Each structure stands twice: as C-alpha cells, then as structure tokens.
Amino acid sequence: MTVVPTTGTATPVAAPVKRRRLRFVANPKATTGLVILGFFALVAIIGPWIAPYDPSGRSNDLLQGPSAAHWFGTTHLGQDIFSQVVVGTRSVIVVGFIAGIVATILSVLVGVTSGYLGGAGSELLSALSNVFLVLPALPLMIIITSTLPETSTLTIALVIGLTSWAWGARVLRAQTLSLRGRDYVEAARATGEKTWRIILFEILPNLTAVIASGFVGTVIFAVTLEITLAFIGIGAGGDWNWGTVLYWAQSQQALAQGAWWWFVPAGLAIALLGTALSLVNFGIDEFVSPRLRGGGKTNVKTADGHTVRMRVGFTPVLATKAGPEGRETP
C-alpha cells in the first residue's frame, strides 16, 4: 500500500455540480478574500495615477511622520511612502499573477502527465518535481538572479514561476492517479477514447478546485518571495514594490531612528494580501472538502435552556420528552 501524503486538498474530487459553484461564491471566507484581492488589483491598475507624489521624487520633508500631506510619512530623502506603497502594488500583483500562471501551467503539464501516463517517464517527472520541492527556494533564487544581467519585474516573475511549480505538480499527480482509476475514466479508455480527450474532458474538469488552490498557493509564495528578494536587495531595477520600501527602511536604519511608519504600512499590506489569498484558498478547501465547512451554528440550545456544542461523538439532546410531532408516552 502506498501512502501518498498530501495536505488539505487531498480529498476525493466528485463530479462538480452547477449548484456547488454558487456555493463557493456564497462562502464568506472566499468572498472576503476576493473583495480584498479586488481592492489590491484595483490599486495595482490605477496606482500610478492616484499616487499623490512621484515615489522616487525627493522633497525637503526629510523623515517626517504620518501627516495630512504624507499619509505614511516620508523617507530620509523626503520621498512619500504612501506613494511608494501604492505604486509598488502593481509590481507585487504582476509578479504574483505571472509567476502563478507560469507555475500553474507547468504543474498541470508535469503533474497530470506523470499521474496519467505512468511508467518510467512518470517516475522521472515525479522525481524531478520532488527535487525542485526540497531545494531551498530562496538561496536558489538568489544564485539564479545573481547571474542575470538585469532583473526586471518580469524576469523575477518568470524565474519564480519556473522554479515553484513542484508543489502543485505533486498534488495534481496524486489526484490524477486517483482519478485514473475511476469507473468513468476506465470506461472512456476502454471505448478507445483518445488520451488527450480523456485528459481534457474527463480528468481536468475534476481537477479544477485543486488547480485553483495550487494557483492561489503559488501566488502567495511568489509574492512573498519577490518581496523577500527585494528586501535583501535583489530587486526589479527601478520598479517600486513593497519589498523595496522595506529594503530602504532597513538599510537606512529606520528602526534606530524610530521611523516606524517606514516599514509598518508595507508590512501590513503584505500581510493583508497574504490573508486575502489564504482566505480564498480556505474557501476552495471547504468547497472541495465539506468536512472543513463551519456549517453555520455549532452551539445549540436545549429545551431546558442549556447551550451545548455540536461535536463528534456526543450528539446533543435538545429535549428528552417526545418531539413536537411525537405522541404522548405513557
């Protein structure tokens, strides 16, 4: 018996029903996440226009705290931090999504192929994704980017995308392996259906949730990695992002000078974006695996006024007399 260790998403993927799609949008966690995400996407698009100052433009307000003129204060050069954070949103979102898309395409290609085809090639692909999985991402990224002649937002996004597909590929492979044995797939194969048609019409639709969750996971990973790289000084040329803001705060000893406003807003923005993405992923997890769903009320009131918590192993008893429709007991 082989044990395929997977986390959260390793639940049977039943044939999706239309009605369930709506339920995903109705999931409060997913909705909250999507709303926050929408906000950041909007800022990413219109950021350069709504930013009050040029993020690199210097002024005479050196190292000022938050004020009406500078909401998030200014840097040692008098740059407006609010503008830096607003303008920097675009780079963060772009890297997240490009890396997410690249990595998702790769993980689907590698994961589904190795899960469906089997044989030596499959084992090889699986080994390859495991190698990429255990290699420590940050040092690997550092030595790769250090050789690049120039690093733009796009190259950073591509490098992250090309190196972070392994987790998704692993989960997809496990799921594909289990789907391959299903009756309807076996039946399609027995009737001589073409392989690419089976994968496209029988396998992929049932992997939608897993792919989506992998995509969101990769976006979280890519955003964190981009910001981290920028923080240690491997950044996208002249582009601002939240990591660059923190890099300057760190290298100019913002802490020692008590300039908390320099690093707090960017950090909170990262955490907020990360939380939003996690919430979307929780929504997907609960959608796929109903056991995780909160299921509304978990505390119930009994007839004699006590509150009991619903839990496995001890079914709450609301009333010990006969129920509302019950007959009288002698």
Partner 1 sequence: MSYLLKRIVFYVFTAWAAITINFFIPRAIPGDPVQALITRSRGQMTTEAVQSLYVLFGLDKDASLAEQYFSYLGQLLRGDLGLSFTYFPSPVSQVLGDGLPWTLGLVGITTVLGFLIGTALGTGIGWRRGSWADALIPVTTFVSSIPYFWLGLIAIALLTGPDSFFPASGAYDNGLVPNPDLEFIGSVVQHGILPAFTILVSSMAGWILSMRNMMVTVASEDYVTVAHAKGLSDRRVMVGYAARNALLPNVSGFALSLGFIVGGTLLVEIVFSYPGLGLQLFQAVGAKDYPLMQGIFLIITLSVLLANFLADVAYLALDPRTRREG
Partner 2 sequence: MTDAVLEIRGLNVDYGLGEDAVHAIRDVDLTLHRGEVLGLAGESGSGKSTLAYGLTRLLPPPGVITGGEVLYHPDGGDPVDVLRMDHAALRRFRWAETAIVFQGAMNSLNPVHRISTQLTDVIKAHDPRGTSAARLARARELLHLVGISADRLESYPHQLSGGMRQRVMIGMALALEPKVVIMDEPTTALDVVVQRQILRQLVELRERLGFSVVFITHDLSLLVEFSDRIAIMYGGRIVEEAASADLYRDPLHPYSHGLLNSFPALRGPKRELTGIPGSPPDLRGMPSGCAFHPRCPHAMERCGVEVPVLGVPPDKSTTAHVAVDQRSPADRTVACWLHPVHDDGF
Residue with Cβ nearer partner 1 (120 or 143): 143
Binding partner of 131, given partner 1, partner 2, none, CB within 5-8 angstroms per partner class: partner 1
Binding partner of 155, given partner 2, partner 1, none, CB within 5-8 angstroms per partner class: none
Residue with Cβ nearer partner 2 (50 or 317): 317
**Where on the chain is the footprint of partner 1 (CB under 8 A)?**
1-3, 5-8, 10-11, 127, 130-131, 133-140, 142-144, 146-147, 149, 167, 170, 220-221, 224-225, 227-228, 231-234, 246, 249-250, 255, 260, 263-264, 267, 270-275, 277-279, 282, 285, 289, 291-292, 298-299, 309-314
Binding partner of 238, given partner 1, partner 2, none, CB within 5-8 angstroms per partner class: none
Q: Minimum Å distance from CB 191 to partner 1?
A: 34
What is d(CA 105, CA 169) in angstroms, rounded to the nearest whole number? 10
What is d(CA 317, CA 276) in angstroms, rounded to the nearest whole number? 38
Q: Minimum Å distance from CB 309 to partner 1?
A: 5
Cα dist from 268 to 22, 74, 75, whole Å: 31, 17, 18
Residue with Cβ nearer partner 2 (183 or 325): 325
Token pair 């909170």 in the structure block, residue: 268
Q: Minimum Å distance from CB 3 to partner 2?
A: 10
**Where on the chain is the footprint of partner 2 (CB under 8 A)?**
1, 295-298, 300, 310-330
What is d(CA 216, CA 279) in angstroms, rounded to the nearest whole number? 10
Residue with Cβ nearer partner 1 (50 or 232): 232
Cα dist from 169 to 30, 173, 253, 291, whole Å: 24, 6, 42, 25
Q: Minimum Å distance from CB 139 to partner 1?
A: 4
Per-residue HEC secondary structure of 191-229 comes to CCCCHHHHHHHHHHHHHHHHHHHHHHHHHHHHHHHHHHH
What is d(CA 246, CA 189) in angstroms, rounded to the nearest whole number? 55
Residue with Cβ nearer partner 1 (172 or 188): 172
What is d(CA 84, CA 245) in angstroms, rounded to the nearest whole number? 7
Residue with Cβ nearer partner 2 (1 or 68): 1
Residue with Cβ nearer partner 2 (1 or 17): 1
Binding partner of 307, given partner 2, partner 1, none, CB within 5-8 angstroms per partner class: none
Q: Minimum Å distance from CB 300 to partner 2?
A: 6
Q: Minimum Å distance from CB 293 to partner 2?
A: 10
How would you class 183 by CB atoms within 10 Å of its CB: exposed for 0-12, middle for 13-18, buried for 19 or more? exposed
Q: Minimum Å distance from CB 177 to partner 1?
A: 16
Per-residue HEC secondary structure of 251-303 comes to HCCCCCCCCHHHHHHHHHHHHHHHHHHHHHHHHHHHHHCHHHCCCCCCEEECC
Q: Which of 244, 221, 6, 257 is nearest to 95 (CA)?
A: 221
Binding partner of 315, given partner 1, partner 2, none, CB within 5-8 angstroms per partner class: partner 2
Determine which helix (DSSP H) or strand (DSSP E) holds 176, and give its type and residue range. Answer: helix 166-180
